[in-house]
Amino acid sequence: MNNLTADDFLNQQQALEDEARELMPWDPKHCTYSLGALKQQVYACRTHGNIGVCYSCSIRCHTSCDIVELFTKRNFTCDCGTERDSRVDPKSKQKMCEIRENREPDVAASDNSYGPNFKGLFCDCAQEYDADSPTVMIQCVMGNECGEDWYHDHCIMGVEADSVSVKPEEMSDADAVTERHLENFPALDSFDAFICWKCVSKYAPYFQKIESSELANDIVSQTVIHGKDDKSVNAEGKRTRDDDTKPYSIFLKKGYQEALGKLSDSIKDNHNKLHIFLTQIAPQLIKDEEEYEPPAEEETILDIISKSLYQSINRAELAAGSSALYKLQSNLKNFLQPFAKNGKVVKEEDIASFFQKPK
Ligand SMILES: [Zn+2]
Ligand SMILES: [Zn+2]
Ligand SMILES: [Zn+2]
Ligand SMILES: [Zn+2]
Ligand SMILES: [Zn+2]
C-alpha cells in the first residue's frame, strides 16, 4: 500500500466504483417484500436454504452469501427476513432484513414457486449457468409448468451438446452475435419468445387449437420437436403428422401477444376452454406484467466524494502520498456521519465546504 501513489489510489477507486455500478445499476434501498408478488429480478441464496430475495436484499442482507442470479421471475415475493430465511436466528432479536428492519420473521408468501433454479440449476439437464459457454440459453415465456426455466438450445432439441453441428457462416461474421448457431435451431432473430415443450405438452389441446386457428401465422414462428430426431423441423417449420405425439416447443413471432389477444377476443363464448386458457391460465401470453425496476441509483456519497477529490484537492498535495488521502478520508467520514445519522442527503456544496475548511 505504501508504494501506491495517490493517482493509483484514485484510479483504483474509480475502477472499483465503475465495477460496482455495473453490478449494481439500481439503488439498493428498497426491499420489494411489502409490494407483494411481482415480476422482478430474483436472486437465490444458496447459503440460506435456496430462498429467493429481491435485488436490494441480495446486496444489503445476503452480502457474503452464495448468490445465484435468476433474472426475472413472475409473481415472486422477496423471502429475505421471512420465515423461510435462516440468515438470522429469530431468538436473537436482530434485524431479520437489513432494509425492513423487522425483528421477527415476516410471513412468507405462499405462492412463491421454488423450482431447481433456486438451487442454481437450469434447464432440463439441471446444470449450473456457465457464463463462459457460447451455448445460447432461452427462458420459457409461459413458465406455468417449468417455473420460467432457462434452456440450452441443444436441450430444447433434446440432443447432446456435441452431437449438433454449428452453422459455420454464423461464426465468420465478425459483427454478428458471437453465439454459436445450431443446425435446425431457429435463428435468434427469427422469433420473439419461446414456450418450452413441458409447458406446451401440459396444455397441448389449447396449443393445437392456437396452431390451427386463422391467426396461427401471426403467432407461431416455428415449432421444434424435443427428441433425438435429425429432422426435428421441416422446411416450413411445420411438424408432420407422425410427429404429432412427440413433445415440441413453440417459437413465437414478434407481435404474438396482439394476435393471441385478437384470438381470445374473437371467442364470444366465455366458457370456451381456449378463451379460459388465454385469459386465466396463461394471460401473460397476451399481456405480460411489467417488470418491477428498483429506483435508479442516485448519485452516491462515494460519487460526490471522488468527484470532489478530483476537483478540489491540490494535485501536488495528493502526490505527497496516499497516507494524506487516508487521513482526509477518515476526516471526511467524521464529517459525513451526522448526515448519515439524520438521513440527510449530502449535497455537493456540503462536500465543497468540507474541502474549504482549514485543516
Ligand atoms: Zn427484499
Ligand atoms: Zn443468504
Ligand atoms: Zn433483506
Ligand atoms: Zn440443458
Ligand atoms: Zn416452460
Q: Looking at the predicted structure, is the pLDDT value of residue 350 above 60?
A: yes
Nearest to 148 by CA among 284, 348, 3: 284
Q: Looking at the predicted structure, is the pLDDT value of residue 262 above 80?
A: yes
Greatest mean pLDDT range, 92-106, 296-310, 325-339: 92-106
Q: Which ligand has the minimum distance to the alpha carbon of residue 102?
A: 3
Whether residues 169 and 157 fall in one domain: yes
Tell me, yes or no, whether 271 lies in a domain.
yes
Nearest to 248 by CA among 269, 220, 267, 272: 220
Whether residues 87 and 147 fall in one domain: no
Tell me, yes or no, whether 293 lies in a domain.
no
Tell me, yes or no, whether 127 lies in a domain.
no
Reported as a pLDDT band with limits 50, 70 and 90, residue 338 is low
- In the prediction, which pLDDT does 22 show? 63
Phi, psi torsion values for 149, nearest 5 degrees: -70, 160
Q: Residue 252 forms beta bridges with which residues?
A: 193, 220
Ligand 4 centroid–CA 230 distance in Å is: 18
Tell me, yes or no, whether 269 lies in a domain.
yes
- In the prediction, which pLDDT does 184 show? 83
Ligand 3 centroid–CA 53 distance in Å is: 7
Ligand 4 centroid–CA 120 distance in Å is: 13
Tell me, yes or no, whether 311 lies in a domain.
yes
Whether residues 152 and 231 fall in one domain: yes
Residue entry with cell 439441471: 126
Q: Which ligand has the minimum distance to the alpha carbon of residue 45?
A: 2
Q: What is the pLDDT of residues 211-246, one digit of tens each?
A: 999 999 999 999 999 986 545 455 455 555 555 678
Whether residues 67 and 95 fall in one domain: yes
Which of these ranges, 75-89, 147-161, 179-193, 197-211, has the smallest mean pLDDT? 179-193
Q: What would the grid cell of residue 185 be? A: 435451431
Whether residues 204 and 260 fall in one domain: yes
Ligand 5 centroid–CA 200 distance in Å is: 7
Tell me, yes or no, whether 290 lies in a domain.
no
Return the higher-pLDDT residue of 351 and 93: 93
The count of domains in the chain is 3
Whether residues 20 and 41 fall in one domain: no
- In the prediction, which pLDDT does 299 show? 57
Whether residues 167 and 258 fall in one domain: yes
- Those residues whose C-beta lies under 8 Å from the C-beta of residue 212, and which sit 6 or more positions away, are none
Tell me, yes or no, whether 170 lies in a domain.
yes
Domain encompassing residue 194: 137-285
Whether residues 154 and 243 fall in one domain: yes
Tell me, yes or no, whether 126 lies in a domain.
no
Whether residues 114 and 142 fall in one domain: no
3-state SS assignment for residue 232: coil
Ligand 1 centroid–CA 7 distance in Å is: 38
Whether residues 168 and 40 fall in one domain: no
Q: What is the pLDDT of residues 167-195, one digit of tens each?
A: 655 444 444 445 567 888 999 999 999 99
Nearest to 151 by CA among 286, 251, 78, 237: 251
Whether residues 337 and 264 fall in one domain: no
- In the prediction, which pLDDT does 175 show? 47
Whether residues 164 and 236 fall in one domain: yes
